[in-house]
Structure 1
Amino acid sequence: METEAALCCDFTDDERALADRALSQFESGQYDAAVSVLSKLSMSRTHDPRLMHNKAVAAYHASGLTQTDRFRMDLNEASFQLEKDATELDDEVDEVEKALVSFNQALMLFYLRRYHQSLQKLEKLFRVIEPLEEQVSLNICFLLLETYLVLSQVDKATQVVAYLDKLLVESRMMEKFESMEMRESSPGASSHRIDPNLLLLHHYKARLYVIQRSMKACKREIKVLMDSGDAQSPSILYLKAELEYVRQNYRKSIRVLNSSPRLPVVLETGECLPSLYFNNLGCIHAGMKKHNLAAYYFKQALEENSRAVAMMGTVDKAAPLTGRPLRCLSLNKRYELLHNLGTQLLCAGIPLEAFDCILEAVQVFHTNPRLWLKLAECCVKAREMEEHMLFSSQQSGRKSVVVQGVVGTGPHRKIVVASPSHTARQSTHGQSAAMPTPSLEFANICLRNAWQLLPQLNSATESSPPPIHVEQSGVSGDPGELVTGDARRGKDSGQHTVVSATSMLPMRAQEINGLRSAILACSSYVALGLGDYVSTLEYGQQLFSQPKLPGLLRYLGHIYVAEALVSQGRITEAVQHLSPETIVDVGLTTSANEGEKSNAGQSEESIDGLVPGYSFNWTVPCAKMMMFLNLATAFCLRKEFDKARRSLQQATSLVKSSDTPPQAVLLAVYIELQTGNVSSAVQLLKKNQTGMSGRSSERSNKRRNLFLRKNV
């Protein structure tokens, strides 16, 4: 917090003495005495906005920075009085006059995670920063820089760093001059004296270089920090661990984290270090694709977070900001951790638990399209598990719900089989589609929400648009990426360093395009599962028109569109989408040049897990095999059994016999029966009956998009 100067040109001598005394008491930490003196002074100067501000700051410090609701009202009153005085003088409010009031308001908004509101005030202050005192200017710059980094506005943060570097040049020159004088006067005296502001600037430079992926520059700044400051400081060690995490040196990052000292549960800066520690371990293991272990660490982080929040006591609903220090208002990271946990549970193939986690997180981050898409993916994976149980129920001796009934007797006995869309609707019969349940109906709603929340890009902004950040009331960030912790400057005391985990990263143009493509692919699959073939075709056509479409999404789009056309009886059109020669890539990356290779992993991670079948190890031969099988099915529906047999032979030649799905054997038997080769069909069944019964039903379930699942 900042206070204004005690003297004023229209103060009397007695008032100046009281003001000087109050300032001296405030600087020495005697806040109650300062409030008492300022109260006496306010009796003669009732409506002085600077006095109102100083009294509010002193009273807030006297309460241990816990009466935030009252302090917020006092700041608003001081700001209103400044505007009122300017109106009476027919003048505009001078930003310099209200600089400290605006700074304290911006500081409070920052700790309330209302970063954009805080940024508006700070940018106004930055434009009039020259007349202000040096330390006030530095505090404004550091808070502005912190806000830019939280919002990932890297270009603007770079400008502030350049300004701070220029502003502190004089301090550096003065420091060298003083060191030279000290060595001349006393040769034995130590000349190693580092300006805390310079160390803080090095810290911000390191964080900025991590975001920019300038590894050498970041490593150089961290070395300066470790040589000049406390090498065992958690903020420095966590920053070093983040550098190794970004460089994908995961084991080294873990060693650095483990070397950090074990501090109390809640730091004096309002951060829960154990929760941050387990969160970062979870992020590292997520980068190593150890999703179950990552989920375990995120659960540990949630427990530590709950323990830290419980230490702060209960919150009064009438005054939600009162009772906890300002630095602890942003202590709770529950929803960010729930997002991380839900993402890893989804990747680990546990969609029901992931659904519960992400559903709770989306109630706070409800304007985030990534979360709605992940929620829909949980529904798709839950449907996949349900289909697995349906199709494996016959092997356990239970009656499958796929069989609706039996009609006729003797040689005329027939089995009535339900379609996949009918069996899917049975599980949600009688429930509203808007009910948050892991069903395809709810997935359809989630995908519509995600589509509506996507920012629209035009041709002028697609090349280099500004980052788009999602902010909610009380909680900020875009929970689309897993990130490690960073070092943050605390402003309530003006000196100490905060260790914190940033919320989420904003979306850039290429990520928005990938997200849009993933939404369309998932929407096409969901519409197909619901039997809405018209919507499936519409989503598919929109998917094909997307720029830089990944090979896997293009492949899935052709599969979904072809199945919808088959279901509508448009076999000839479906065959056009089932050309195996068009499959040259089944990856999720869209990088086309060497300059983009460094971000290939990030691009892949941004789409991976957001499309049906993401857990399958897709390869070009496997994709071609699936395409040939679907093509053979289409030929069977057209009674072109010779073409179907050739397509089936091409499919089986692409993979090992052990990797051939059971549906291929059944299709081969069907073709032999239709062509009158009953003996060949019997031999095929005898030859493959052991493999068909023992083969993993999970592999069959992952290849669930074959047409023969309901047409053969």
Structure 2
Amino acid sequence: MLDENNSTQENELFTRAYVEYNNEKYDESLNTLRELENISPKHKTKIKHNCAVIAFSKSNSINFQELLKTLNELYEEEIENAKLNSSGVCFTPIANYNKAIIYYNRSLHRTGIKYLLPVVEKLESFEENFALLVSTLMLRLLLASQQLNRAQHFLALLQIKFPRIADSLLPDENFTDKQLLEDFKLLAMLTNVLNRRTVAIPDDGSLEFSALKARQYYIMKDFQMAAKQLKIINTESNENNTDTDILKTCIANNMGIIHLRVRHYAIAAKFFQNAITFDKQIASNMRNIPLYDISSARSCEILYNLGISMLHLRRPKEAFQCFLVPLKFYHSNPRFWTRMAEACIMEHEMKLLLEDKKPMVSSVVNIGSRRKYILKPTPRTMYPPSTQCAVLPEPTMEFAILCLRNALTLTKFYKSSFSEQNEEGGGTENQNWKEIIDNNFCTPSAPISKDALDRMLSAIYTAYSYVSIRLGDYVTALEMARECSKSEKLSDAHKMLVKLYSGQALIMMDKIGEARSYLDPQFVNGLNAFDFETKDWQVKSLEAAQNVVRYNLAVAFALQGDFDGTSRLLNTCTHPVVIAKTMALKIYVDIKTGKYCKFEKSYKLSLWNV
């Protein structure tokens, strides 16, 4: 609030208002500012700003809308004054800083960075306490928006320009706000940890450093030590009665993440459900809470984690419902769309499994030589177009194709703007930190690597091809499969799916000869068995993959009328993953060759003898 150009009386009033504000005497501070305005109208803008800040603090930091409205009005007034005076816009660092704080706490991190950047550009002109305040907020914004590499370069800049405050290991007695200095040191360590740099975290027993140590263990993939550290935090907080709903939510969610990584999906789901319970208690008191607690509710991220667990537990309907809420906030994240499509596909597959348990012959008409067999309906008539409500999405194949279309469009766009120089924390030492582009396309997840982006694109293509086959769009299915075959570093599992879906699409397009070239079982022998064993799906071995390809080739033989070749292939299809479909196809072949009646009579005679 001080201004060196003010008169002695004005400086005294500014100082008195500042002291009264720090002592939470808000009414007295407002009266002092009004007195200052009467004797010095030239400080009208600064006084209006300070009065808005005091009114915000007086409301227990709840009425932030009025403060933001005032800050925007002052900004517009400065623009008009600058136009009249033919000069640049007056630079108000504190007003911009306050705006950035509001947007940070409302989880609008990129908007906060936009308003804080002009302040950071003139960081060297501020006294060190305010420079530290601005630097801390910028680090928070960068880390919250998953701009990890950019935050690392910004921290490196601070170490050059402010070596005394940037050293996160040495204390400094010249700072009046010791807590602010501790916050900055903690953020500096967190920045290094998230960028996978070696950091010696002090073991002082504080909650913040203990949580940072747990996160470091997790990033180093030492999941057992990470879980142990979280348990220590939970025990100490219970003993000291410092366990809050926010702390309980974080511990439960992080424990769920650890169990998710080690494939303990049921335990992970339980932890996520507990985290949601704690988070609901936070959200129930969100109407009249301070600005600084608005972002404490984290239900979106937790619901996404729970949805992933439900997918692994083969509970697609629950997973789909979990994804609906976070999708509203992270609709530009292709991973969300892909996961929703996977839930729709799994729900459809579970319905198919129920249908496969029914006999292929649904009924028999007439007897003797006039006997006719009524088979089950074909998939095209079995699954008519969904009549779902457009307002309430449901896990159907029609909605899956919409999800995959969005995921494919977003992934292609992000791949075109991928910055390879910043991958794995790269970039030149002299590069301006503002020019760093983190590949954080999947917010709130960490920045994505090029390999992960290619793997996601392959998964989208294969899922798109499969759903198109189920919906009868065989041209699109073949196109997606061929696009997937062009992907970089295609996994062996996806190579098999590409050939399988290409063959199926060509069969349905009545191009049997061309389809048989895709369904050669020999190519499976050259695939990596480990790539199948690590996937969470039914085809977990090369033997299972061989049986799936042989079955599809048998279908192609049957459609060409080569029933002898079909029978030979079906005799080699003994894996449980295809046994039900193999038996159904054998019955079809027996019916077409006239063997089904003889088999049925023989079965009845043997039963009579018994």
TM-score range, shorter chain: 0.7 to 0.9
CA deviations over 1:356-394 (Å, ceiling 9, x no partner): 111222233222222122111111111112122223356
Letter in 2 for 1:359: L
Alignment of 1:162-173 (within 5 A): 162-170=156-164
Correspondence 1:253 to 2:226? yes
CA deviations over 1:279-309 (Å, ceiling 9, x no partner): 1111111112111211111111111111112
User: When the two structures are superposed, what TM-score results if normalisation uses the length of structure 1?
Assistant: 0.73
Partner of 1:274: 248
Partner of 1:514: 455
- For this pair of structures, how many residues does the alignment match? 583
SS in 2 for 1:414: strand
Which residue, out of 32, 36, 41, partners 1:41?
Answer: 36
Equivalent pair of 2:211/2:229 in contact (CA under 8 Å): yes
Structure holding more helix per residue: 2
Partner of 2:434: none
Deviation at 1:589, TM superposition (A): 7.4
Partner of 1:295: 269
Which residue, out of 531, 550, 573, partners 1:628?
Answer: 550
Deviation at 1:68, TM superposition (A): 0.6
Equivalent pair of 1:281/1:294 in contact (CA under 8 Å): yes
Matched residues in 2 for 1:162 and 1:668: separation? 69
Partner of 2:374: 415
Structure 2 unaligned spans of 5+:
423-436
SS in 1 for 2:472: coil
Matched residues in 2 for 1:668 and 1:651: separation? 11
Partner of 1:438: 395
Equivalent pair of 1:168/1:198 in contact (CA under 8 Å): no
Between the aligned residues of both structures, percent identity stands at 24
CA deviations over 1:155-180 (Å, ceiling 9, x no partner): 2211221233345534699x99999x
Which residue, out of 444, 450, 464, partners 2:407?
Answer: 450
Equivalent pair of 1:275/1:302 in contact (CA under 8 Å): yes
Which residue, out of 237, 254, 277, partners 1:262?
Answer: 237
Partner of 1:23: 18
Partner of 1:237: 210
Letter in 2 for 1:244: Y
Equivalent pair of 2:334/2:406 in contact (CA under 8 Å): yes
CA deviations over 1:74-128 (Å, ceiling 9, x no partner): 2223333333333332210243xx1111111111111111111111222222221
Alignment of 1:207-218 (within 5 A): 207-214=190-197, 217-218=198-199
The structure-2 alpha-carbon separation of the partners of 1:136 and 1:638, relative to structure 1 and needing over 3 Å to count, comes to same
Matched residues in 1 for 2:379 and 2:23: separation? 75
Structure 1 unaligned spans of 5+:
180-192, 316-322, 395-399, 471-476, 479-502, 591-600, 609-613, 690-712
Equivalent pair of 2:551/2:578 in contact (CA under 8 Å): no
Partner of 2:58: 62
Matched residues in 2 for 1:266 and 1:135: separation? 33
Partner of 1:135: 129
Partner of 1:695: none
CA deviations over 1:209-232 (Å, ceiling 9, x no partner): 332333xx13x2x1xx32xxxx33
Alignment of 1:35-434 (within 5 A): 35-46=30-41, 48-95=44-91, 98-170=92-164, 199-214=182-197, 217-218=198-199, 220=200, 222=201, 225-226=202-203, 231-260=204-233, 261-262=236-237, 272-312=246-286, 315=287, 323-393=288-358, 403=362, 410-412=368-370, 413-425=372-384, 428=386, 430-431=387-388
Matched residues in 1 for 2:20 and 2:518: separation? 80
Equivalent pair of 2:245/2:281 in contact (CA under 8 Å): no
Equivalent pair of 2:365/2:373 in contact (CA under 8 Å): yes
SS in 1 for 2:156: helix
Equivalent pair of 1:266/1:273 in contact (CA under 8 Å): no
Correspondence 1:585 to 2:527? yes
Matched residues in 1 for 2:177 and 2:52: separation? 34
CA deviations over 1:427-475 (Å, ceiling 9, x no partner): x3x44678512211121222222223335256784644644446xxxxx
Equivalent pair of 2:71/2:95 in contact (CA under 8 Å): yes
CA deviations over 1:312-331 (Å, ceiling 9, x no partner): 4xx3xxxxxxx321111112
Which residue, out of 525, 538, 553, partners 1:616?
Answer: 538
Matched residues in 2 for 1:570 and 1:177: separation? 75
SS in 1 for 2:18: helix
Partner of 2:561: 639
Letter in 1 for 2:384: R
Correspondence 1:661 to 2:603? no
Matched residues in 2 for 1:407 and 1:441: separation? 36
Please give the root-mean-square deviation of Cα atoms over the aligned residues, in Å. Answer: 3.7
Partner of 2:506: 565
* Structure of higher RCO (CA pairs closer than 8 Å, 6+ residues apart): 1
